Structures are given as structure tokens and as C-alpha cells.
Amino acid sequence: MAVERNLLEINNLKTGFRFGEEYHNAVDGVSLTLKKNEILAIVGESGCGKSTLATSIMGLHDPKNTQVSGEIIYKDLNLIDLNEKLYNRIRGNDIGMIFQDPLGSLNPLMTIYRQIAEALVYHSDMNEKQIKERVLELLNQVGIPRPEQIMKAYPHELSGGMRQRVVIAIALANKPPIIIADEPTTALDVTIQAQILDLMIDIQDETGSGIILITHDLGVVAETADRVAVMYAGQIVEEAPVDVLFRDPKHPYTRSLLNSIPHELEEGEELHVIHGTVPSLQKLPRKGDRFRPRIPWIPDEAFDENPELTEIAPNHKVRGNSWKHFHFEGEEK
């Protein structure tokens, strides 16, 4: 049996933003693969670099103020080397993107029909009639009622959930093999969130595309992802199939994060709080274990000089060896 090829392969990606004369990496050496038919969740807190990773894949950074290095391999092409013109043929056609804020990603002066049609006109040579058919088909696919009418509406006339469906329809317009969804349900109510997540899973079943789902919400991850990469301070600290990550998390950060989810507590018990704060980009420690300042009760010898992402079980990767010595504060090891 032939080994299935990766849809997307990211090798040692670094994206740095310019501060004065220096560049500071927000994404600092990320390697990932995305397969067909897979939902890969990238989870982490604000400032961990997860959104920068998404925009790097889409090539949305201002080249004057950012430095991108490494490889993003799609169909034997390294996307980093592409010029703007070639990149535009990839964006929307091969990689679709869904943003967090549906209102911000729609043009308020264009009807829903024109916004979806725009993506089709740009990337295909369909005629007017075909485009209309495809738009209707897409609106049906994303579960919009009365598509004939909604098609003529403007974004402000729709509810948040409906707008997000339109954004998904635009992302799907050209049947891209890869979809990147950056916090697609964060602005939505729980019942709408459940609908949108179900919709994304259904669409994936139908189209077999690979989805990179970027989120801070572990509940969303548990409900949708096949595989999870946890990011901290620009690096992936743990990567595992979703059931493994929730059943048997290893990295101290993953464990701390899972422990701080609000739940019902015993009398006198408190939620777990991670010590200190996420350092700013300029102050990020570039040497040693980046999570070390957040777990000061763990003795120094537990940390590696240069923690690498290593496979500790099939498909389960953890950065460094500190996890072997980790225990929560006040807890016996």
C-alpha cells in the first residue's frame, strides 16, 4: 500500500515580526503535517503564535515587517518562495480560510451573492448561470434557509451564525483541499457553535479536505479534532491524537491548561492557576525550556538545555523531558 501523501507539510517554520531593527519570532520552529480527511487542531492561549501560524500559511504577512523562513510544502511547492501573483492563485483555490469575526471578513457593501461569486469568478471560468447554481448549492450546503432570498441580502441583515455560514461558503467555493479555520466559533453562542462545528465536520466528510482548526477552546478541540498540537510561546509542546491528548496529556503546559478548566469543585478547592504570565514577544526566552518560569517548583535538573519535540509513543510527541519530572505544586510526585 502506498503511503498517503501529506496535503501540507510545514518544516521548521519561523515567522518573525520586526521591532525596530530586530526580528522576534512569534512562530519559532514549527513542523507539522496535515493529511487528507483530517482535522488538525492547534490550541494555545493568546500570544502563543497560533494565528501567526495560520496567516503564515496563507502568506498574509507584510514582507517589509516580517521575516518568514522554513518550508511550507504544498504540491511540491514551497509556498514561502511564491510571489504575490502565484500566491493569489493558491489562496481561496487551494487553501480556504475562515476567520473569527464573520462581520469583519465580509464586505458590508456587497450582497451575499456577489461575495461568494467573487471567489468563483477569480479562480474559475464559470459563466453567470453556473456561478449562480454553484452559489445556491453552497448556501444549501452550509445550511442557509431560503438561499434564493438570503443571496440578495447584505451581511448586516444576517445573524452572527448565518454570517459565519456565509464565510464558510466562501471558503468552500472552490472546493479547496485545505481549509484553515481561525477561531471559527469564538464569537458565536454555544448552540450556534455546535451547529457550525457539526457543519464543518459534515463538510469535511463530504469533501475529504484537510482542516487546520485554530482555537483556544479545549471543548471545541475535544468535539471536532482528530489530532491536536498544543502551542506555547511559538513552539509546539505536545502533539497527539485527540483521545490520547485528553486521556494522557504529558507536557506540563497541556496538563496545567486542562486543569484550569472551570468545573465543579469540592469545598475549599480552587482552580489551577498557571504561575506568572506569558512573556511578551521581545522578552521570550529563546534558550532552554520556555515553560520553565511557569513551573518554578520543579528542580532545575529536570529541564533540558535544548528541549526537542520527541516521539514518546506512536504519534505522540512531547517537547523536552521536563514532563517526566512534572507534578502539580503541593502534589506528591
Partner 1 sequence: MGFLEVQELKVHYPIRGGILNTVQDYVRAVDGVNLTIESGKTYGLVGESGSGKTTIGKTIIGLEKASAGRILYEGENVTNKARSRNKKYENYNKDVQMIFQDSTSSMNPKKRIIDVMAEPMRNYFDYTPAEIKRRVAELLDIVGMNAEAMYKYPHEFSGGQRQRIGVARAVASDPKLIIADEPTSALDLSVQAQVLNFMRRIQKEYGLSYLFISHDLGVVQHMSDDIAIMHRGRFVEKGPKKEIYNNPQHIYTKRLLSAIPDMDPTTRESNKIERQRVEAEYDAQEAEYYDQNGRVYDLLPYKDDHFVATKPNSSLQNESINTKGEV
Name the residues that contact partner 1, by CB under 8 A.
Answer: 45-46, 160, 189-194, 197-198, 216-223, 225, 242-243, 246, 256-258, 260-265, 270-274, 277
The neighbour count for residue 295, using CB atoms within 10 Å, is: 23
Give the residue with the Cβ less far from partner 1, 10 or 225: 225
Give the residue with the Cβ less far from partner 1, 180 or 225: 225
Q: How far is the CB of 183 from partner 1 (least distance, A)?
A: 13
Q: How far is the CB of 329 from partner 1 (least distance, A)?
A: 14
Q: How far is the CB of 46 from partner 1 (least distance, A)?
A: 6
* DSSP characters over 190-250: HHHHHHHHHHHHHHHHHH--EEEEEES-HHHHHHH-SEEEEEETTEEEEEEEHHHHHHS--
How many Å apart are CA 47 and CA 290, to the nearest integer?
Answer: 14
Give the residue with the Cβ less far from partner 1, 141 or 174: 141
* DSSP characters over 114-129: HHHHHHHHHH----HH
Grid coordinates standing for 272? 489551577
Residues 30 and 69: beta-carbon distance below 8 Å: no
**Which amino acid, 105?**
S
Give the residue with the Cβ less far from partner 1, 9 or 217: 217
Residue with cell 452572527: 160
How many Å apart are CA 204 and CA 201, to the nearest integer?
Answer: 5
Give the residue with the Cβ less far from partner 1, 55 or 186: 186
What is the end-to-end Cα distance of the chain in Å, rounded?
45
For the chain, what is the radius of gyration of the CA atoms?
21
Q: How far is the CB of 120 from partner 1 (least distance, A)?
A: 31
Q: In a 3-state reduction of DSSP, which class is residue 21?
A: coil
Q: How far is the CB of 47 from partner 1 (least distance, A)?
A: 9
- Comparing CA positions, the residue from 121, 108, 111, 112 lying closest to residue 167 is 112
Give the residue with the Cβ less far from partner 1, 177 or 249: 249
Give the residue with the Cβ less far from partner 1, 142 or 221: 221
How many Å apart are CA 238 and CA 253, to the nearest integer?
Answer: 9
CA 308 to chain centre: 22
How many Å apart are CA 160 and CA 16, to the nearest integer?
Answer: 33
Q: How far is the CB of 20 from partner 1 (least distance, A)?
A: 20
How many Å apart are CA 245 and CA 166, to the nearest integer?
Answer: 32
- Comparing CA positions, the residue from 62, 5, 57 lying closest to residue 31 is 57
Q: How far is the CB of 274 from partner 1 (least distance, A)?
A: 4
Give the residue with the Cβ less far from partner 1, 116 or 220: 220
